[in-house]
Every structure is written in C-alpha cells, then in structure tokens.
Amino acid sequence: MTFKSRTAIRLSDGRELIYFNEEAQTHRADYPDTRELPPPPPTSQLRYDPLVDEWVAVAAHRQTRTFLPPSDACPLCPSKPTFASEIPAPDYDVVVFENQFPSFSDRIPADEITELTDLVPVRPGIGRCEVVCFTSDHNSSFGALTPSRVRTVVDALADRTAEMSTLEGVAQVFPFENRGVEIGVTLHHPHGQIYAYPTVPPRTRSMLAAAANYKERTGGDLYTDVLAAERADGARIVASNEHWTAYVPAAARWPFEVQLAPHRKVADIPALSDAERDAFGPLYLDVLRRFDGLFGKPMPYISAWHQAVVGEGRELGYLHLQLFTIRRAADKLKYLAGSESAMGFFVNDVVPEKAAQMLRDA
C-alpha cells in the first residue's frame, strides 16, 4: 500500500468517511462534520422484469441529489470557514465516503413491498454506494494526477473492494468514473464511485455466460485467450508495458473504446501485485492523455473496472478496465438511439483499427 495512514470518521448523519493519507498523519480525522443533516434515505427498491430476466432499481430519493453546484459550493472540495462540504478536513489526498444519495444501501424501509404481481417480485436494494475523490484540487482531472497519486487511488479501490465484497448480499463490486457533462456528470470535481451491487448486473451475466461456454468448449479461459490474440495481432494495441496492455476491442461498441488488462489473470483489484499496481498508473495516464489529445479538448468518458463476482462464477472473472467515450468526432457525439437503446444492438461509427491508430497518433 502506498498510503501511509487510513483514518475513518462518521459524518453528522452517520455515514462513513475514510481518509487515505499519503503521509503518516491522522489530523484530518480531528475535524468534525458541523452540518445538520437529515438521516440518510432508505435504500432503493429492486423490481424484477420477467420479460428480460433482469432487476431494475427504483431510487426516487436520487431526484434531489446535488446538480452542478458553483465551485464555491462544491460538496467534494475540502471544507472551509465559509462552506462545510462532505469532507470536513481543510485538505486531503484521497477520500472515500458513503454516497448521500445512494442507489443501494443497507437501510431497509419498514414498509418494504415484496410483490407487485405474481411475475414481479420486489426486494430492497441492499448494497453500498461510495464516492471516491481523487484529489482536493477542484480544477484538476484524473489525467492530471501523478503516477504516485494514481497508485494511492488504486490502493484505496483495493481497500474498498475487499471490504465491500464481505458485505451480506453483495454480488459484485464496481468502481467507475464518469467524466464530462456530456456523460451526465452532476459534479465537476474529479471523483469516481463504487457500487456494491445486490445482484449480478446484466453485462457481467453475459460475460460470465460467454466465459463458461468457452471453457466448456475449449477448456481455456476466454479473456486470457482474447488478450493473447490481441497482443499477437497488434493492430489494435494502443500502448503497453511489462504488466499491462491497452487495446481497442475488435468488436468495440463505442467510437473510441480501450480495455486495459493485466497480463496475469487476477480476479479483482486487491489481487494485483505491487508491481502491477505501480505499472498501471503510467499506462492509464498515457491513454487518458491520448483521449484528450484526439480532438484537442477534454474527452468525456466512462471508466469502468470489471471485477470478478463475489459468489458463483468468480473463477471466470478476469480483472480489466474499460474506458470509452461517446464522442465520435470533434463536434459530434454518439447518442444511444433506437437500435442501441431499445434493442441493445450497437452500431459503431468508427472502425476499431482506425480508432487504435488515431489513439496511437494522438
């Protein structure tokens, strides 16, 4: 671990906040949350859709979440005498705290409905949602971080993944970052989130099914073989180092999409070695800067860590990071229109080999 100390406090409404300090200091935990906050909301409601065999979360309390506040009222900046934010200390390195408007939590309402119809069971969205602040600098970005700070973030994600994976009812832990108003970001401060899902999400279910089928047919590991094939072919490789490869998937759905995978199969972030954690930052920062360099302006993106599930099928998981953008040209966005939104059938506007070449040249 690169962080020298880890200190946890409780905010005024009982939510947990953890400082990951790069120096051996604990003074940040001495600052109390001076706000008077209402109790956290109850968790969401999960409703089962029998037509597609999927669960949908209904979280009406999220309608009131903070939306693009002015910079002097940013809830992710350190607190100051004129404004008390979500982080009571006047400075921080990396901080993680329970989301004030969570999609999933362990706070179950007393009057929880258990069924809407015979075909639509309902259950509480038990899980956990956390916010990860990468830096106290409101005007920075993940791509502007130092490799050592990225290592601190990775260590914090490992810490949280390990702890959240032990929570009762959690099926998968999903760290991610949304960047840019085009993506739907509601807070400009550089930050990500971690969802501890109460059920295996649809994309992961599809990946598990494909991996299981491949293993039954060939005896091999699907992602291992896909990565080996991409490294051997080379046409879609964007960048690589001793421990990681960044490549554009041959069947990329998004205009510019890159997957970063460790060369060694590991289940999740906690399983990464020190050398692998150190090597991740420089490569990922390089790819992020290539994204920004494509059109000479900050690229909106989603960065998603795909980790192994907690329970059945865990052995089929292969940790990798998926980075993609909806920007398909300098002045054009890729909207999920009829085919993508209604049918889930993607039509990509950019040939993956061309996207890889553009990223290598950026």
Residue whose C-alpha is closest to residue 43's, from 101, 105, 97, 98:
105
* Per-residue three-class SS string for 81-123: CCECCCECCCCCCEEEEECCCCCCECCCCCCCCCEEECCEEEE
For residues 287 and 323, the answer to whether their CB atoms sit within 8 Å is: yes
| Residue 135 and residue 151 in one domain | yes
Phi, psi (rounded to 5 degrees) for 113: -75, 145
| Residue 247 and residue 336 in one domain | yes
What pLDDT sits at residue 206? 98
What span, in angstroms and rounded, lies between the C-alpha atoms of 124 and 46?
Answer: 6
| Residue 306 and residue 181 in one domain | no
The CATH number that applies at residue 287 is 3.30.428.10
| Residue 159 and residue 16 in one domain | yes
Cβ contacts of residue 282 below 8 Å, gap of 6+?
A: 147, 241
Question: What is the full per-residue pLDDT of the chain (362 aa) written as tens digits?
Answer: 777 889 999 999 999 999 999 987 778 999 999 999 999 999 999 999 999 999 999 998 887 777 678 888 999 999 999 999 999 999 999 999 999 999 999 998 767 778 789 999 999 999 999 999 999 999 999 999 999 999 999 999 999 999 999 999 999 999 999 999 999 898 999 999 999 999 999 999 999 999 999 999 999 999 999 999 999 999 999 999 999 999 999 999 999 999 999 999 999 999 999 999 999 999 999 999 999 999 999 999 999 999 999 999 999 999 999 999 999 999 999 999 999 999 999 999 999 999 999 999 99
Q: In DSSP terms, which residues pair with 7 in a beta bridge?
A: 19
Q: At which of 155, 182, 199 does a domain end?
A: 199
| Residue 132 and residue 170 in one domain | yes
What is the DSSP secondary structure assignment for residue 256, as one 8-state letter?
Answer: E
What pLDDT sits at residue 110? 67
| Residue 109 and residue 168 in one domain | yes
Q: Is 57 helix (H, G, I), strand (E, B) or coil?
A: strand
| Residue 98 and residue 227 in one domain | no
Q: At which of 199, 230, 264 does a domain end?
A: 199
| Residue 22 and residue 169 in one domain | yes
What pLDDT sits at residue 4? 83
What span, in angstroms and rounded, lies between the C-alpha atoms of 130 and 262?
Answer: 25
| Residue 185 and residue 208 in one domain | no
Q: What is the pTM of this model?
A: 0.96
What span, in angstroms and rounded, lies between the C-alpha atoms of 8 and 15?
Answer: 10
Q: At what angle do helices 147-164 and 274-294 cross, to 10 degrees?
A: 120
Distances in Å between the Cα of 69 and the Cα atoms of 66, 94, 103 are: 7, 21, 21
| Residue 141 and residue 288 in one domain | no
Q: Is 146 helix (H, G, I), strand (E, B) or coil?
A: coil
- Could you list the residue range(s) of the whole structural domain that residue 193 is in? 5-199
pLDDT in tens, 209-237: 999 999 999 999 999 999 999 999 999 99
pLDDT in tens, 318-360: 999 999 999 999 999 999 999 999 999 999 999 999 999 999 9
| Residue 179 and residue 62 in one domain | yes
Could you list the active site residues?
Answer: 191
Q: At which of 153, 180, 199 does a domain end?
A: 199
| Residue 36 and residue 114 in one domain | yes
Tally of domains within the chain: 2
